Amino acid sequence: MPGCLCGCAPELGRRGFFAAAVAAAAFPARGFSAEPAPAADPVLIDDIVTANHILYDQGVVDGFGHISARHDKDPSRYLLSRSMAPALVTEADVMEFDLDSNAIDPRGRTPYLERFIHGEIYKLRPDVMAIVHSHSPAVLPFADTGVPLLPMNHIAGFLGAGPPVFEIRTVAGDASDMLVRNNDIGKALAKTLGPHPVALMRGHGSVAAAQSVKHVVFRAVYTEVNARTEGEALKIGKPTFLNEKEAAAAAKTNDGLVGRPWELWKQRVMSK
Ligand code: MN
Protein backbone atom coordinates (compact mmCIF):
# COMPACT_ATOMS: atom_id res chain seq x y z
CA MET A 1 0.00 0.00 0.00
CA PRO A 2 1.49 3.37 -0.93
CA GLY A 3 1.81 6.16 1.63
CA CYS A 4 -1.14 8.48 2.07
CA LEU A 5 -1.49 11.11 -0.63
CA CYS A 6 -2.67 13.75 1.79
CA GLY A 7 -0.56 15.71 4.27
CA CYS A 8 -0.13 12.71 6.54
CA ALA A 9 3.16 12.04 8.24
CA PRO A 10 5.22 11.71 5.06
CA GLU A 11 7.27 8.70 6.05
CA LEU A 12 4.30 6.82 7.44
CA GLY A 13 1.98 4.91 5.14
CA ARG A 14 -0.86 3.10 6.87
CA ARG A 15 1.30 0.07 7.58
CA GLY A 16 4.19 2.26 8.73
CA PHE A 17 1.88 4.17 11.02
CA PHE A 18 0.79 1.08 12.91
CA ALA A 19 4.34 -0.27 13.13
CA ALA A 20 5.42 3.07 14.54
CA ALA A 21 2.56 3.00 17.02
CA VAL A 22 3.77 -0.37 18.28
CA ALA A 23 7.27 1.04 18.62
CA ALA A 24 5.89 3.98 20.57
CA ALA A 25 4.39 1.62 23.11
CA ALA A 26 7.93 0.52 23.88
CA PHE A 27 8.86 3.99 25.15
CA PRO A 28 9.20 3.66 28.92
CA ALA A 29 6.82 6.00 30.70
CA ARG A 30 8.56 7.56 33.70
CA GLY A 31 6.77 8.29 36.94
CA PHE A 32 7.39 10.93 39.57
CA SER A 33 10.31 9.04 41.07
CA ALA A 34 12.28 8.79 37.84
CA GLU A 35 15.72 10.27 37.66
CA PRO A 36 15.67 13.78 36.23
CA ALA A 37 16.12 13.74 32.47
CA PRO A 38 18.88 15.92 31.06
CA ALA A 39 17.61 19.48 30.72
CA ALA A 40 15.81 20.28 27.50
CA ASP A 41 17.60 22.42 24.93
CA PRO A 42 17.06 26.08 25.91
CA VAL A 43 16.44 26.83 22.22
CA LEU A 44 13.50 24.40 22.28
CA ILE A 45 12.08 26.02 25.42
CA ASP A 46 12.48 29.42 23.78
CA ASP A 47 10.67 28.16 20.66
CA ILE A 48 7.78 26.89 22.80
CA VAL A 49 7.45 30.29 24.48
CA THR A 50 7.64 32.09 21.13
CA ALA A 51 5.10 29.69 19.61
CA ASN A 52 2.65 30.44 22.43
CA HIS A 53 2.93 34.15 21.67
CA ILE A 54 2.68 33.67 17.89
CA LEU A 55 -0.42 31.51 18.15
CA TYR A 56 -2.15 34.24 20.14
CA ASP A 57 -0.97 36.97 17.79
CA GLN A 58 -2.22 34.98 14.78
CA GLY A 59 -5.65 34.38 16.30
CA VAL A 60 -5.29 30.63 16.78
CA VAL A 61 -5.46 30.63 20.60
CA ASP A 62 -7.03 33.14 22.98
CA GLY A 63 -7.21 32.64 26.73
CA PHE A 64 -7.40 28.93 25.92
CA GLY A 65 -5.41 26.49 23.82
CA HIS A 66 -1.86 25.19 24.17
CA ILE A 67 1.27 24.01 22.40
CA SER A 68 3.70 21.31 23.46
CA ALA A 69 6.95 19.83 22.17
CA ARG A 70 8.47 16.43 22.76
CA HIS A 71 11.55 16.60 25.01
CA ASP A 72 14.63 16.68 22.78
CA LYS A 73 16.69 14.47 25.14
CA ASP A 74 13.99 12.00 26.20
CA PRO A 75 11.22 10.91 23.78
CA SER A 76 9.14 9.63 26.70
CA ARG A 77 8.60 13.16 27.96
CA TYR A 78 7.08 16.34 26.64
CA LEU A 79 7.13 20.05 27.49
CA LEU A 80 4.00 22.16 27.97
CA SER A 81 3.19 25.37 29.80
CA ARG A 82 1.39 25.40 33.11
CA SER A 83 -2.31 26.28 32.90
CA MET A 84 -2.40 29.90 31.74
CA ALA A 85 -3.17 32.13 28.76
CA PRO A 86 -0.65 31.32 26.00
CA ALA A 87 0.23 34.97 25.30
CA LEU A 88 1.60 35.29 28.85
CA VAL A 89 3.78 32.17 28.89
CA THR A 90 7.45 32.55 29.89
CA GLU A 91 10.28 30.00 30.16
CA ALA A 92 9.59 29.42 33.87
CA ASP A 93 6.04 28.29 33.02
CA VAL A 94 7.14 25.40 30.81
CA MET A 95 6.65 22.11 32.66
CA GLU A 96 7.84 18.57 31.88
CA PHE A 97 5.45 15.59 31.68
CA ASP A 98 5.72 11.86 31.09
CA LEU A 99 3.57 10.35 28.35
CA ASP A 100 0.81 9.52 30.86
CA SER A 101 0.78 13.29 31.44
CA ASN A 102 2.06 13.18 35.02
CA ALA A 103 4.03 16.32 35.86
CA ILE A 104 7.68 15.49 36.59
CA ASP A 105 8.49 18.49 38.77
CA PRO A 106 5.34 20.59 39.22
CA ARG A 107 6.78 23.01 41.84
CA GLY A 108 3.29 24.24 42.62
CA ARG A 109 2.41 24.88 39.00
CA THR A 110 -1.06 23.75 37.86
CA PRO A 111 -1.14 21.75 34.62
CA TYR A 112 -3.73 22.16 31.85
CA LEU A 113 -6.79 19.95 32.28
CA GLU A 114 -6.42 18.79 28.68
CA ARG A 115 -2.71 17.85 28.74
CA PHE A 116 -3.78 14.24 27.92
CA ILE A 117 -4.23 15.35 24.30
CA HIS A 118 -0.48 15.76 24.10
CA GLY A 119 0.68 12.67 26.01
CA GLU A 120 -1.54 10.27 24.10
CA ILE A 121 -0.61 11.64 20.67
CA TYR A 122 3.10 11.43 21.52
CA LYS A 123 2.55 7.80 22.58
CA LEU A 124 0.86 6.85 19.32
CA ARG A 125 2.94 8.96 16.94
CA PRO A 126 6.73 8.66 17.38
CA ASP A 127 7.16 10.99 14.39
CA VAL A 128 5.32 13.83 16.16
CA MET A 129 7.56 16.35 17.93
CA ALA A 130 5.07 19.16 18.55
CA ILE A 131 1.31 19.56 19.05
CA VAL A 132 -1.13 22.48 19.10
CA HIS A 133 -4.62 22.31 20.57
CA SER A 134 -6.94 25.25 19.93
CA HIS A 135 -10.52 26.41 19.65
CA SER A 136 -9.77 28.68 16.69
CA PRO A 137 -13.11 30.10 15.60
CA ALA A 138 -13.19 29.63 11.83
CA VAL A 139 -12.49 25.90 12.22
CA LEU A 140 -15.49 25.22 14.46
CA PRO A 141 -18.15 25.27 11.70
CA PHE A 142 -16.27 22.43 10.01
CA ALA A 143 -15.91 20.50 13.27
CA ASP A 144 -19.63 20.78 13.96
CA THR A 145 -21.40 20.41 10.60
CA GLY A 146 -19.73 17.55 8.78
CA VAL A 147 -18.80 19.91 5.92
CA PRO A 148 -15.25 18.79 5.08
CA LEU A 149 -12.32 21.16 5.63
CA LEU A 150 -10.32 20.90 2.41
CA PRO A 151 -7.27 22.73 1.05
CA MET A 152 -8.26 25.97 -0.68
CA ASN A 153 -4.70 26.66 -1.83
CA HIS A 154 -1.20 25.21 -1.80
CA ILE A 155 -0.28 26.65 1.61
CA ALA A 156 -2.87 24.40 3.24
CA GLY A 157 -1.88 21.33 1.21
CA PHE A 158 -1.17 19.50 4.48
CA LEU A 159 -4.95 19.22 4.94
CA GLY A 160 -4.90 16.54 2.22
CA ALA A 161 -8.26 14.82 1.86
CA GLY A 162 -9.51 16.62 4.98
CA PRO A 163 -8.96 16.11 8.70
CA PRO A 164 -10.91 13.43 10.56
CA VAL A 165 -13.45 14.63 13.15
CA PHE A 166 -13.26 13.39 16.73
CA GLU A 167 -16.62 12.66 18.38
CA ILE A 168 -16.10 12.67 22.15
CA ARG A 169 -19.45 10.91 22.77
CA THR A 170 -17.94 7.66 21.49
CA VAL A 171 -15.65 7.53 24.53
CA ALA A 172 -17.11 9.91 27.15
CA GLY A 173 -20.86 9.50 26.67
CA ASP A 174 -23.40 12.23 25.96
CA ALA A 175 -23.02 14.28 29.15
CA SER A 176 -19.30 15.13 29.24
CA ASP A 177 -17.97 18.68 29.61
CA MET A 178 -16.29 18.12 26.19
CA LEU A 179 -12.79 18.27 27.68
CA VAL A 180 -10.06 15.74 27.00
CA ARG A 181 -9.57 15.36 30.72
CA ASN A 182 -8.10 11.87 30.99
CA ASN A 183 -5.90 9.38 29.15
CA ASP A 184 -8.82 7.34 27.78
CA ILE A 185 -10.30 10.33 25.97
CA GLY A 186 -6.83 11.43 24.85
CA LYS A 187 -6.16 7.98 23.45
CA ALA A 188 -9.43 7.99 21.51
CA LEU A 189 -8.55 11.41 20.07
CA ALA A 190 -5.07 10.18 19.11
CA LYS A 191 -6.63 7.19 17.33
CA THR A 192 -8.95 9.50 15.40
CA LEU A 193 -5.96 11.64 14.42
CA GLY A 194 -4.17 8.49 13.23
CA PRO A 195 -1.49 9.42 10.68
CA HIS A 196 -3.10 12.78 9.83
CA PRO A 197 -1.54 16.18 10.62
CA VAL A 198 -4.81 17.69 11.89
CA ALA A 199 -7.99 16.41 13.55
CA LEU A 200 -11.13 18.43 14.26
CA MET A 201 -12.97 17.99 17.55
CA ARG A 202 -16.75 18.23 17.38
CA GLY A 203 -18.13 20.87 19.70
CA HIS A 204 -14.64 21.91 20.73
CA GLY A 205 -11.84 22.80 18.29
CA SER A 206 -8.93 21.04 16.70
CA VAL A 207 -5.51 19.55 17.17
CA ALA A 208 -2.46 19.81 14.89
CA ALA A 209 0.65 17.63 15.04
CA ALA A 210 4.00 17.94 13.26
CA GLN A 211 7.70 17.15 13.21
CA SER A 212 8.75 20.43 14.85
CA VAL A 213 7.44 23.47 16.72
CA LYS A 214 7.76 25.59 13.58
CA HIS A 215 5.88 23.07 11.46
CA VAL A 216 3.05 22.70 13.95
CA VAL A 217 2.63 26.46 14.28
CA PHE A 218 2.48 26.69 10.48
CA ARG A 219 -0.22 24.01 10.37
CA ALA A 220 -2.27 25.50 13.20
CA VAL A 221 -2.20 28.98 11.66
CA TYR A 222 -3.04 27.82 8.15
CA THR A 223 -5.76 25.44 9.31
CA GLU A 224 -7.51 28.51 10.71
CA VAL A 225 -6.74 30.64 7.61
CA ASN A 226 -8.00 27.89 5.30
CA ALA A 227 -11.20 27.50 7.32
CA ARG A 228 -11.83 31.24 7.07
CA THR A 229 -11.21 31.21 3.32
CA GLU A 230 -13.32 28.12 2.72
CA GLY A 231 -16.17 29.61 4.71
CA GLU A 232 -16.07 32.65 2.43
CA ALA A 233 -15.88 30.52 -0.72
CA LEU A 234 -18.87 28.41 0.30
CA LYS A 235 -20.95 31.59 0.55
CA ILE A 236 -20.39 32.50 -3.09
CA GLY A 237 -20.12 29.17 -4.85
CA LYS A 238 -18.69 25.69 -5.02
CA PRO A 239 -14.91 25.75 -4.61
CA THR A 240 -12.57 23.46 -6.52
CA PHE A 241 -10.18 22.23 -3.85
CA LEU A 242 -6.69 20.86 -4.34
CA ASN A 243 -6.93 17.18 -5.16
CA GLU A 244 -4.96 14.72 -3.03
CA LYS A 245 -1.95 14.63 -5.35
CA GLU A 246 -1.75 18.41 -5.55
CA ALA A 247 -2.15 18.66 -1.79
CA ALA A 248 0.61 16.13 -1.14
CA ALA A 249 3.01 17.83 -3.56
CA ALA A 250 2.28 21.26 -2.08
CA ALA A 251 2.67 19.97 1.48
CA LYS A 252 6.08 18.53 0.61
CA THR A 253 7.23 21.87 -0.81
CA ASN A 254 5.87 23.86 2.12
CA ASP A 255 7.55 21.64 4.70
CA GLY A 256 10.83 23.18 3.51
CA LEU A 257 9.52 26.73 3.82
CA VAL A 258 8.05 26.95 7.32
CA GLY A 259 11.00 29.02 8.54
CA ARG A 260 9.90 32.02 6.47
CA PRO A 261 6.57 32.80 8.15
CA TRP A 262 8.03 31.72 11.52
CA GLU A 263 10.68 34.48 11.35
CA LEU A 264 8.04 37.04 10.39
CA TRP A 265 5.60 35.98 13.12
CA LYS A 266 8.42 35.84 15.67
CA GLN A 267 9.61 39.33 14.84
CA ARG A 268 6.06 40.63 15.20
CA VAL A 269 5.60 39.24 18.70
CA MET A 270 9.09 40.24 19.82
CA SER A 271 8.58 43.86 18.74
CA LYS A 272 5.42 44.22 20.82
MN1 MN B 1 -9.81 22.61 24.57
> Which residue range is the domain that position 95 belongs to?
13-270
Please tell me the distance between residue 272's alpha carbon and the centre of ligand 1 in angstroms: 27
pLDDT digits (tens, 9 = 90+) for 28-59: 444 454 566 799 999 999 999 999 999 999 99
Please tell me the distance between residue 117's alpha carbon and the centre of ligand 1 in angstroms: 9
Residue 6 lies in a domain: no
* Residue 37: predicted pLDDT: 72
Please tell me the distance between residue 85's alpha carbon and the centre of ligand 1 in angstroms: 12
* Residue 221: predicted pLDDT: 98
Residue 63 lies in a domain: yes
Residue 172 lies in a domain: yes
Distance CA 21, CA 15 (A): 10
pLDDT digits (tens, 9 = 90+) for 194-209: 999 999 999 999 999 9
Q: How many domains does the chain have?
A: 1
Here the CATH number for the domain that contains residue 147 is: 3.40.225.10
Question: What pTM was estimated for this model as a whole?
Answer: 0.90
Residue 2 lies in a domain: no
Residue 7 lies in a domain: no
Distance CA 77, CA 69 (A): 9
Please tell me the distance between residue 28's alpha carbon and the centre of ligand 1 in angstroms: 27
Catalytic-residue membership of 224: no
Which DSSP letter does residue 9 get? -
Please tell me the distance between residue 146's alpha carbon and the centre of ligand 1 in angstroms: 19
Q: Which stretch of 25-39, 60-74, 121-135, 245-259 has the lowest confidence by average pLDDT?
A: 25-39
Residue 97 lies in a domain: yes
* The one catalytic residue among 11, 91, 96, 114: 114
Please tell me the distance between residue 198's alpha carbon and the centre of ligand 1 in angstroms: 14
Q: Decide if 33 contacts 105 (C-beta within 8 A).
A: no
Residue 225 lies in a domain: yes
Side-chain-facing half-sphere of 8: CA atoms under 13 Å: 22
Residue 1 lies in a domain: no
* Contacting residues for 87 by C-beta, under 8 A, at least 6 apart: 52, 53, 56, 57, 61
